[in-house]
Structure 1
Amino acid sequence: MSRSWKAYLPLLWILIIPVINIFYAILNQAHIPVYSLMTDLDAHIPFVPIFIIPYLIWYPFIFIVLILLCVREQKVYYRTLVTQCIGLLACYLIFFLFQTTVDRPQTMGSGIFERLVGLVYSTDNPYNCFPSIHVLTSYLMIKGAVGSDFVSKRERTAVKVCAWSIIVSTLFVKQHVLLDVAGAIALVEILWYGVGRLSRGQQSKFKGEIVRQENVY
């Protein structure tokens, strides 16, 4: 019983995420200058309020996938969590040095989805856009699920569908533009590779130490 309880202790490291997110609130306001990365292609993407549903699903989705990885394969769990923490800190540094904004629709309907969008707008200022944290963390969950040998094909598919729905939703609810999405995906690819190389290097060093100690004896 105690062994199974201890197996879940690594989940406590997830609590570092809300601590790091304190910086988001501090930086989520206009600095001078504020840039716009909107392109002509972004202008042709329609505002589709119903996509606020996958946008909001992001909150439980991230924690559910991290829990799944922790239970199934802690090596991948730690790699995913470390990548996420470094990615968040990198985003906050970019927000501080290169603050961007997104043009939001001036008029919306009065339906339930429009009201949900309005609620998001009222609690999240239109800054901290590049790169998108929604996209960064959602895409990272795909990397983690695919990178684990103990996540089933069906579970990987579910993660991919949810993650890409969230990523697309950031464009349709006008919280982000295409360059925000591209920047976040590129950042994940770089950090995932770097954290993986660092982890393998540490493991090789540890194995080398064991071999040297065995040779001594």
Structure 2
Amino acid sequence: MKSKLSYFAPLLWLLCIPVLNVFYGILNREGDRVRSLMTVLDAKTPFIPQFIIPYLIWYPFIFAMFVLLFVKNRKVYYRTLFLLCTGLVVCYITYYLFQTVVYRPVITSDVPLHWFVQFVYSNDRPYNCFPSIHVMTTYLMMKSTFRHIHLKRLTHLAIGLTGWSIIVSTVFVKQHVVLDIVGAIVLVEITYYLMNALVPIPKKTTVSASA
């Protein structure tokens, strides 16, 4: 029992994420200057409440992906966690210096899916938008996993479908706009490139979890 606990103990480093998220709440309020990055494409994008399901799946998805990386490759796990925390810091600095807002629809109907949307709206003010943390973290998990971890085809497909469903859900439930997605993906690509230049790890490496 003690050996099992010691084996999984490094997962406690995931607590760095909720600690950093304290700044999310501090910054998620209207400042002196708030900008909108809404484009014509966003105006034409419909509100689809069904996408609140993949939007909320984001929470267990990120944790499950970290567990997968932890079991499959400890080095990739640590590096991905560092990149995620770095991305969060960059996002928070951006929110402070360049605050944006997303204008949400008014929810009036009383149906279950709308309850979930209203729950999200009530607990997440619309100011921490560019870049999207939902997208940044999801895209990072997919990139790290697909680049370094051997997966069965169905597992690869399931992760990809889930991840991209989460990403597009951010615009269909009107939590973000298209540029928030673009900014998040660019952020991951830049930080991932810099990290790989400093500490390269071969693609599809077979390093054991105990390494």
Please indicate, yes or no, whether the TM-score normalized by the shorter chain is above 0.5. yes
* Superposition deviation, residue 148 in structure 1: 2.2
CA distance, structure 1, for counterparts of residue 109 and residue 2 of structure 2: 54
Correspondence for 1:200: 200
Q: Structure 1, residues 76-122: CA drift from partner, whole Å, max 9, x if none?
A: 11111111000000000000000000010134422111111011101
Q: Which region of structure 1 is more displaced relative to structure 2, 85-94 or 9-18?
A: 9-18
Amino acid at match of 1:180: D
Preserved contact between residue 27 and residue 92 of structure 1 (Cα < 8 Å):
yes
Aligned residues, how many?
201
Preserved contact between residue 135 and residue 166 of structure 1 (Cα < 8 Å):
yes
**Are 2:145 and 1:145 equivalent residues in the alignment?**
yes
Correspondence for 1:214: none
Preserved contact between residue 107 and residue 114 of structure 2 (Cα < 8 Å):
no
CA distance, structure 2, for counterparts of residue 134 and residue 31 of structure 1: 22
* Superposition deviation, residue 154 in structure 1: 2.6
* Superposition deviation, residue 12 in structure 1: 1.0
Correspondence for 2:66: 66
Secondary structure of the 1:36 match is coil
Which structure 1 segments of 5+ residues have no match?
202-217
CA distance, structure 2, for counterparts of residue 106 and residue 5 of structure 1: 47
Correspondence for 2:7: 7
Correspondence for 2:110: 110
- Which structure exhibits the higher relative contact order, with contacts defined as CA atoms closer than 8 Å and separated by 6 or more residues? 2
Amino acid at match of 1:38: M
Amino acid at match of 1:132: S
Correspondence for 2:91: 91
User: In the TM superposition, what are the counterparts of 1:1-217 in structure 2 within 5 Å?
Assistant: 2-200=2-200
1:108–1:195: structure 2 CA closer, same or farther, 3 Å change rule? farther
Which structure 2 segments of 5+ residues have no match?
202-211
Q: TM-score, normalised by structure 2?
A: 0.91
CA distance, structure 2, for counterparts of residue 136 and residue 64 of structure 1: 16
CA distance, structure 1, for counterparts of residue 19 and residue 13 of structure 2: 11
Percent sequence identity is: 53
CA distance, structure 2, for counterparts of residue 107 and residue 4 of structure 1: 47
Q: TM-score, normalised by structure 1?
A: 0.88
* Superposition deviation, residue 8 in structure 1: 1.6
Larger radius of gyration: 1
CA distance, structure 1, for counterparts of residue 12 and residue 158 of structure 2: 25
Q: Structure 1, residues 52-93: CA drift from partner, whole Å, max 9, x if none?
A: 000001011100100110011111111111110000000000
CA distance, structure 2, for counterparts of residue 65 and residue 149 of structure 1: 11
CA distance, structure 2, for counterparts of residue 43 and residue 188 of structure 1: 26
CA distance, structure 1, for counterparts of residue 149 and residue 46 of structure 2: 39
CA RMSD of aligned residues (A): 1.5
CA distance, structure 1, for counterparts of residue 28 and residue 141 of structure 2: 24
Preserved contact between residue 100 and residue 129 of structure 1 (Cα < 8 Å):
yes
Amino acid at match of 1:131: P
- Please state which structure has a larger fraction of its residues in helix: 1
Q: Which region of structure 1 is more displaced relative to structure 2, 143-152 or 173-182?
A: 143-152
1:197–1:118: structure 2 CA closer, same or farther, 3 Å change rule? same
